[in-house]
Amino acid sequence: MNGGVSRSQGTHDRRHGLRLRRLGIDTHQEPVIYMRSDCHVCRAEGFTSHARVQVTSAGYSIIATLNQINSDLLKDGEASLSESGWRLLGAGEGDPIAVNHPPPVLSLGRLRAKVFGQRFKDHELAEIVRDIVAGRYTDIELSSFVTVCAARDLDRDETTGLTRAMIDAGESLRWDRSPVVDKHSVGGLPGNRTTPIVVAIAAACGLTMPKTSSRAITSPAGTADTMETMAPVDLDIQSMRRVVEREGGCVVWGGAVRLSPADDVLIRIERALDIDSEGQLVASVISKKVAAGSTHIILDIPVGPTAKVRGQEAAEGLARSLVETAAAFGVHARVMATDGRQPVGRGIGPALEARDVLAVLQVAPGAPQDLRERATLLAGALLELAGAAGAGAGQAVAAEALAEGRAWAKFQRICEAQGGMREPPVAAHCRPVIALRTGQVAAIDNRRLAKVAKLAGAPIAKAAGVELHARLGARVEAGDRLFTVHAESPGELAYSLDYVAVNKDILELAEP
């Protein structure tokens, strides 16, 4: 306290008024403000293109990236926002706005310290997550956070701290019943869409299962993407509560419920980088379960050479981290390591997986038995964990609920309660991929198969993906279809098939 600033107040007029005009530019999530480069505000504040600025309208502020206009697209005194900017600010045509330098984002200093090897403290993670949810981080800064959490592993305390920060930054549900159950698959295995089946069985057996699911991070489909082809999933928290109170279960998109809004921001960056690190995975999963009010959860970790988790040791490490982090919030978790050597079910991609789910629920003759088996295994474990079935009897109870049509009836009621059941879409452009010779399927590369589905447009193109015709151990003849690529546009079909053409061993055929 030895130096001080001599400064008269009022030398600087901060009311930099402009009026908003809609240009209709969609920049996806990133809020952008458009201002004339010769605008008096840019000149007075020294703003140049790509500056981060604070935009205020009717007392509410957002941070946006500046794009300058060197033409008459905007008139003097006008500014515009990207579509996401209009949405976030809640502003309307002609509204007056003020544009200023944003306050410095102090939590970026914590992020830098982590990059250079310091541990995150709880309050630092809380600060970072608050700033992320408030939209104060640029994509460049978000990417640095996602990268450093993967490159400088989060330890147990940091993982718990990140989980708590993510819970505190969103809404939380409390239920007047117990147990409240949940289930999560770590993913990395194409297909494996057990969740809608497990929810239907659990709710049919009287359990409470308020399931929130994510959209795909690095995979061709998340449960929310798949469920959306059968019923609306973007329910708000009140609608979700109504569905669960009426039917005992739901399958909704976590992002709309805002149980962990930070996660929804991070997922976009993780998806762009194709990075999903253990610490962030655990914080993402457990924060949503805790915020949803769950008391008992089953965690499915598929293990296989091309699954997300490749070996028993890695599975045990992840399982420990999940169970211990859950325990820190008073939640009972049980982990099941499952076979992750090949996809579960036939479809890969939102609508194709939905068809598998429907076939199992409807006890259709051609329903994929591996998916049925996996779903009843997990549902059974959940029934046992929650005390709704005796030890060892869970899977039989679950299978019965399926066989008697109670799960299917419950699923239809849940879909209706979520806004109405619908038919998954069918792709306009399909092309089979053929075995060039006779042989036995010796290995299936989950990652490259997922890549084929993603290049075909999944998960954004709902009907796109891969339909798998051969399974491990199956004998195929030359000319048999190995899998079929589905796409909604010819460009995406071609793009995906280009990849298949240079990756001919996605299904490896051994001598018969």
Task: CB nearer to its own copies: give 209 or 476.
Answer: 476
Taking the least distance from each CB to its own copies, the nearer of 77 and 432 is 432
Shortest separation between residue 353's beta carbon and its own copies, angstroms: 19
Residue 331 or residue 441: which is nearer to its own copies going by CB?
441
365 forms part of the interface with its own copies (CB under 8 A)? no
**Which residues in 272-311 contact its own copies (CB under 8 A)?**
272-275, 277
Going from the C-alpha of 265 to that of each of 46, 48, 60, 269, 360, the distances in angstroms are 30, 26, 20, 7, 34
Q: In the complex, what is the shortest distance from the CB of residue 258 to its own copies, in angstroms, rounded to a whole number?
A: 22
Q: How many alpha carbons fall within 13 Å on the CB side of residue 259? A: 31
- Residues in region 11-30 near its own copies by CB under 8 A: 11-14, 22-30
Q: Is 276 assigned a catalytic role?
A: yes
The number of C-alpha atoms within 13 Å of 91 and in the hemisphere containing its C-beta is 31
Interaction with its own copies in 458-497: which residues (CB under 8 A)? 460-461, 464, 482, 487-495, 497
Compute how many residues bind its own copies; rule: CB under 8 A.
97
Residue 34 sits in the site that holds its own copies (CB under 8 A): yes
Residue closer to its own copies (CB basis): 286 or 433: 433
Closest distance of CB 340 from its own copies, Å? 18
Q: Is 507 in the site for its own copies (CB under 8 A)?
A: yes
Pick from 18, 33, 148, 207: which binds its own copies (CB under 8 A)? 148
Nearest approach, Cβ of residue 432 and its own copies (Å): 7
Distances (CA, A) of 319 to 333, 344, 410, 444: 9, 21, 31, 25
Tell the smallest beta-carbon distance from residue 240 to its own copies (Å): 27
Structure tokens at 335: 């982990």
Residues 6+ apart with CB under 8 A from 430: 484, 485, 486, 487, 493
Decide: is 75 part of the binding site for its own copies (CB under 8 A): no
Dihedral sign for Cα atoms in the order 282, 285, 288, 289: negative
* Closest to its own copies by CB, 107 or 208: 107
Residues from 217 through 246 that contact its own copies (CB under 8 A): none
379 and 394 in contact (C-beta within 8 Å)?
yes
Q: How many other CB atoms sit within 10 Å of the CB of residue 34?
A: 21
382 binds its own copies (CB under 8 A): no
Closest approach, Cβ 382 to its own copies, in A, equals 32
| Closer residue to its own copies (CB): 68 or 194 | 68
Helix (H) or strand (E) holding 36: strand 32-36
Where would I find the H helices in 441-504?
A: 446-455, 490-501
3-class secondary structure per residue, 296-319: EEEEEEEECCCCCECCHHHHHHHH
Q: Can residue 457 be called a binding residue for its own copies (CB under 8 A)?
A: yes
Q: Shortest Cβ distance from residue 67 to its own copies (Å)?
A: 5
Q: Is 341 exposed, middle or buried (0-12, 13-18, 19+ CB in 10 A)?
A: middle
Smallest separation (angstroms) from its own copies to the CB of 153: 9
Residue 100 in the binding site for its own copies (CB under 8 A): yes
* Among residues 17, 38, 50, 246, the one that binds its own copies under rule CB under 8 A: 50
Which stretch, 161-169, 219-227, 228-236, 457-465, contacts its own copies (CB under 8 A)? 457-465
Let me know: does 158 contact 125? Beta carbons within 8 Å: yes
Instruction: Quickly count: other Cβ atoms within 10 Å of residue 309's Cβ.
Output: 23
Q: Scanning residues 245 to 274, which ones bind its own copies (CB under 8 A)?
A: 269, 272-274
Nearest approach in angstroms of CB 431 to its own copies is: 6
Q: What are phi and psi of 243, to 5 degrees?
A: -60, -45
Contact residue for its own copies among 56, 61, 68, 192 (CB under 8 A): 68
Contacts of its own copies in 159-178 (CB under 8 A): none
Question: How close are the terminal C-alpha atoms of the chain, in Å?
Answer: 83
- One residue of 434, 473, 475, 512 binding its own copies per CB under 8 A: 434
Q: Does 439 bind its own copies (CB under 8 A)?
A: yes
Interaction between residue 54 and its own copies (CB under 8 A): no
Residue closer to its own copies by CB (options 49, 369) is: 49
CA 188 from chain centre, in angstroms, equals 13
* Annotated active-site residue in 182, 276, 300, 370: 276
Q: Which residues contact 291 (CB under 8 A, 6 or more apart)?
A: 167, 170, 171, 172, 173, 259, 260
CB of 52 within 8 A of CB of 138? yes
CA atoms within 13 A on the CB side of 1: 0
Q: Are strands 475-476 and 439-444 parallel, antiparallel or unpaired?
A: antiparallel
Strands 439-444 and 507-510: antiparallel
Which tokens is 361 given?
Answer: 């629920």
Q: Which residues are catalytic?
A: 276
